[in-house]
Amino acid sequence: MELNGIKPADGAKHAKRRVGRGIGSGLGKTAGRGHKGQKSRAGGYHKVGFEGGQMPLQRRLPKRGFKSHQLQFNAEVTLAALERLGAAEVDPLTLKQAGLIGQLAKTVKVIKSGALTRAVKLTGIGATAGAKAAIEAAGGSVA
């Protein structure tokens, strides 16, 4: 093998399409741009979403909703999830290891959904009024 004999594999390269080079090429005259209009002219195009001067869809629709980026740091745990967990003492680290809350969660709150039968001691975790009552009724505590 010589350096002057190196060439790309067959089919790896293909000739660039040369437009506007006569009728025999198949891309002569209008060069694949059709007849007249903004898209046929050099430098003539429009921005994404442009509808020919008509009010574009993204401006016709109302702005609605908001999602706070702080939500990724807050997490909720149900009473039913605590029941399934089966731990006597629960803190945010325990919940993260069990996969009940996300790894980024900083504040955790227990909500009253489902039932709790075993006593659970919560440390560093908040609880809604109803959830707190249910935890204390089962013999647990919220610190």
Share of the chain above pLDDT 90, in %: 93
- The CATH number that domain 69-142 falls under is 3.100.10.10
- What pTM does this model have? 0.55
- C-beta of residue 142 within 8 angstroms of C-beta of residue 135: yes
Name the DSSP letter for residue 25: G
Write down the pLDDT at residue 46: 87
Q: What span, in angstroms and rounded, lies between the C-alpha atoms of 84 and 87?
A: 9
Per-domain boundaries in the chain: 69-142
Instruction: Count Cβ atoms below 10 Å from residue 74 Cβ, excluding itself.
Output: 15
Show the tokens assigned to 44.
Answer: 């003539």
Write down the pLDDT at residue 48: 93
Show the tokens assigned to 15.
Answer: 């000739």
Reading the chain (143 residues) residue by residue, the pLDDT tens digits are: 899 999 999 999 999 999 999 999 999 999 999 999 989 999 988 899 999 899 999 999 999 999 999 999 999 999 999 999 989 999 999 999 999 999 999 999 999 999 999 999 999 999 999 999 999 999 999 98
